[in-house]
């Protein structure tokens, strides 16, 4: 028959092995949680990508529509230009008619000057009798000279205008290829070519976008499938971890001291001390039961991770540290000691973790400003709401910046005036 000492040794060895199994299960659970978080982030990124691709597709459709409208506009412009060419030709004909009329006027003015000159000569021969006629002849000659000069100016101006309009008309009319093509038609051709290239590029881009969109949808489907698999794995790890924690509790409660026994005893003692301090505070009128059990938390502005104030926070900051700091200093294995309410709210942490937050430095705040926060994760809520004499758990503690620490935790319920207020949590290293 095995001796009591041998049985104790067996229980302790089993407890050590179960503890290691619990650590591995907690590590596996943490890794699965990280994978789920990464998968969720990738899935969100793919969904955002699909949204952007849809917007790009809409823009490409708009480009195609605008390209078609531009081509139509160029065709209409060509037609309008051809009509303008006809009008310009008519203008040229009119200008030539005006030039011909101006030429005729010039000829008439020249003949008038000759007649006036002859009349002036005859008036002089007539002497005194022809003086009045001579004045009239001189005036007519002068007027004819001015008409002739104006006619030459008009003809010169019309000639220059005719040349310019004729050049413009040729530019409009010439719709050939290459060097024989007019500047206006070359401009139209360049616009049409550019629009064609834009349309072609938009078409190729649309094909690329469609391919990327289909690929992202396929990848999103695979990630979703993997996400479902991770959910199954997480549930399995939870069950595995729960089994190991149950074994640890059973072994710790069988009357044989294990490595967890001292921490369990400390948690129970500290929980009783916190409960006594809170009951004394109620009796002395420092707080009412309603305020102590109040579950309304006011966010502290500008904090990240977010911090909160509760009706009992000032009292907790006054009473809890002397118990929490004593337990923290009792062993190098102890990582923290905190009292939390039923919702996982930590009014005051150990002094080392009660540093004021640094604006914008989330990783530092996560590791060093752990007071006035709500830890409602699996481990936190289990410890806060456990009403059995004790609970031992294994988990990864998030220290911010992607850093984690593997810890075990012993907790015990805090009962105030017969009501379950929360729990006393002691985190300790393996």
Q: What is the CATH number of the domain that holds 380?
A: 3.30.450.20
Whether the predicted pLDDT of 330 surpasses 90: yes
Average pLDDT of span 306-332: 98
Average model confidence (pLDDT) for the chain? 80
Whether the predicted pLDDT of 311 surpasses 90: yes
HSE at residue 20, side-chain half, CA atoms within 13 A, is 5
Whether the predicted pLDDT of 4 surpasses 60: no
Tell me, yes or no, whether 254 lies in a domain. no
CATH code of the domain in which 32 resides: 1.10.287.950
3-class DSSP string for the chain? CCCHHHHHHHHHHHHHHHHHHHHHHHHHHHHHHHHHHHHHHHHHHHHHHHHHHHHHHHHHHHHHHHHHHHHHHHHHHHHHHHHHHHHHHHHHHHHHHHHHHHHHHHHHHHHHHHHHHHHHHHHHHHHHHHHHHHHHHHHHHHHHHHHHHHHHHHHHHHHHHHHHHHHHHHHHHCECCHHHECHHHHHHHHHHHHHHHHHHHHHHHHHHHHHHHHHHHHHHHHHHHHHHHHHHHHHHHHHHHHHHHHHHHHHHCCCCCCCCHHHHHHHHHHHHHHHHHHHHHHHCCCCCHHHHCCCCCEECCCCCCCCEECCCHHHHHHHCHHHHHHHHCCCCCEEEEEEEECCCEECCCCHHHECCCCCCCHHHHHHHECCCEECCCHHHHHHHHCCCCCEEEEEEEEEECCEEEEEEEEEEEEEECCEEEEEEEEEECC
Whether the predicted pLDDT of 238 surpasses 80: no
Average pLDDT of span 306-330: 98
Whether the predicted pLDDT of 180 surpasses 60: no
CA 423/CA 419 separation, integer angstroms: 12
Tell me, yes or no, whether 368 lies in a domain. yes
Q: How many residues does the chain have?
A: 430
Q: Which of 195, 216, 244 is the last residue of a domain?
A: 244
Per-residue pLDDT, 101: 63
User: CB burial class (10 A; 0-12, 13-18, 19+) of residue 252?
Assistant: buried
pLDDT, tens only, 359-417: 999 999 999 999 999 999 989 999 999 999 999 998 887 766 677 888 999 999 999 99
Q: Facing residues of 299 across strands?
A: 308
Per-residue pLDDT, 81: 66
Tell me, yes or no, whether 249 lies in a domain. no
Percent of the chain with pLDDT over 90: 36
More confident: 126 or 19:
126
pLDDT, tens only, 34-51: 777 777 787 788 778 777
Per-residue pLDDT, 279: 98
219/328 same-domain check: no
Per-residue pLDDT, 314: 98
Average pLDDT of span 9-31: 67
Whether the predicted pLDDT of 96 surpasses 70: no
pLDDT grade for 274, boundaries at 50, 70 and 90: very high
Calculate the CA dihedral of residues 65, 67, 72, 78 and round it to 10 degrees: 170
218/290 same-domain check: no
221/275 same-domain check: no
188/40 same-domain check: yes
- Domain count of the chain? 2
Tell me, yes or no, whether 12 lies in a domain. no
pLDDT grade for 428, boundaries at 50, 70 and 90: very high
Q: Which of 244, 277, 308 is the last residue of a domain?
A: 244
CA angle 159, 160, 164 (to 5 degrees): 115
360/400 same-domain check: yes
Whether the predicted pLDDT of 128 surpasses 60: yes
Q: Which domain holds residue 301?
A: 259-428
Average pLDDT of span 218-238: 73
Tell me, yes or no, whether 306 lies in a domain. yes
Per-residue pLDDT, 152: 73
Q: How far is CA 203 from the centre of its chain?
A: 27
pLDDT grade for 163, boundaries at 50, 70 and 90: confident
Average pLDDT of span 190-202: 74
Whether the predicted pLDDT of 181 surpasses 70: no
Whether the predicted pLDDT of 334 surpasses 90: yes
100/137 same-domain check: yes
pLDDT grade for 211, boundaries at 50, 70 and 90: confident
277/230 same-domain check: no
Tell me, yes or no, whether 10 lies in a domain. no
Average pLDDT of span 133-146: 65
Q: Facing residues of 428 across strands?
A: 334, 408
Whether the predicted pLDDT of 340 surpasses 70: yes
Tell me, yes or no, whether 230 lies in a domain. yes
Q: Does the predicted TM-score (pTM) go above 0.75?
A: no
Q: Which of 218, 244, 270 is the last residue of a domain?
A: 244
More confident: 118 or 338:
338
pLDDT, tens only, 143-152: 667 666 766 7
Average pLDDT of span 237-262: 74
Average pLDDT of span 162-182: 62
Per-residue pLDDT, 250: 72
Tell me, yes or no, whether 175 lies in a domain. yes
266/170 same-domain check: no
212/267 same-domain check: no
351/382 same-domain check: yes
192/263 same-domain check: no
pLDDT grade for 5, boundaries at 50, 70 and 90: low
Judged by average pLDDT, the poorest of 29-33, 81-85, 274-278, 342-346 is 81-85
More confident: 294 or 162:
294
Whether the predicted pLDDT of 177 surpasses 60: no
413/378 same-domain check: yes
pLDDT grade for 79, boundaries at 50, 70 and 90: confident
């Amino acid at each position: 028959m095995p001796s009591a000492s041998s049985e104790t040794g067996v229980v302790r060895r089993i407890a050590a092995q179960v503890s290691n199994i619990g650590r591995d299960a907690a590590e596996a659970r943490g890794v699965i949680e990280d994978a789920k978080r990464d998968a969720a982030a990738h899935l969100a990124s793919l969904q955002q990508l699909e949204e952007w691709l849809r917007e790009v597709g809409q823009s490409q459709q708009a480009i195609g529509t605008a390209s078609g409208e531009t081509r139509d506009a160029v065709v209409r412009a060509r037609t309008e230009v051809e009509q303008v060419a006809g009008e310009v030709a008519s203008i040229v004909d009119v200008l030539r008619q005006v030039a011909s009329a101006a030429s005729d006027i010039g000829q008439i003015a020249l003949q008038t000057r000759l007649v006036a000159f002859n009349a002036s000569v005859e008036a002089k021969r007539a002497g005194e009798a022809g003086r009045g006629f001579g004045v009239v002849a001189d005036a007519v000659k002068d007027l004819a000279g001015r008409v002739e000069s104006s006619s030459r100016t008009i003809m010169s101006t019309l000639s220059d205008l005719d040349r310019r309009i004729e050049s413009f008309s040729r530019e409009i009319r010439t719709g050939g290829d290459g060097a024989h093509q007019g500047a206006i038609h070359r401009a139209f051709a360049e616009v049409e070519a550019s629009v064609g290239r834009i349309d072609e590029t938009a078409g190729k881009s649309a094909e690329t976008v469609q391919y990327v969109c289909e690929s992202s949808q396929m990848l999103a489907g695979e990630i979703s499938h993997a996400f479902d698999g991770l959910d199954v794995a997480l549930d399995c790890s939870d069950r595995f971890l729960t089994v190991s924690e149950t074994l640890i509790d059973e072994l710790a409660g069988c009357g044989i001291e294990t490595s967890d026994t001292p921490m369990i005893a400390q948690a129970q003692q500290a929980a009783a001390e916190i409960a006594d301090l809170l009951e004394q505070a109620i009796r002395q009128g420092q707080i009412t039961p309603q305020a102590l059990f109040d579950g309304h938390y006011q966010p502290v502005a500008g904090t990240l991770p977010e911090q909160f104030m509760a009706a009992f926070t000032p009292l907790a900051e006054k009473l809890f540290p002397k118990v929490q700091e004593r337990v923290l200093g009792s062993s190098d294995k102890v990582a923290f000691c905190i009292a939390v309410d039923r919702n996982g709210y930590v009014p005051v942490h150990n002094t080392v973790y009660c540093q004021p937050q640094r604006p914008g430095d989330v990783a530092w705040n996560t590791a060093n400003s752990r007071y006035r926060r709500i830890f409602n994760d699996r481990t936190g809520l289990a410890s806060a709401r456990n009403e059995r004499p004790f609970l031992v758990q294994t988990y990864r503690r998030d220290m911010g910046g992607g850093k984690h620490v593997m810890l075990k935790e012993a907790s015990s319920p805090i009962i105030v005036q017969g009501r379950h207020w929360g729990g006393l949590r002691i985190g300790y290293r393996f």
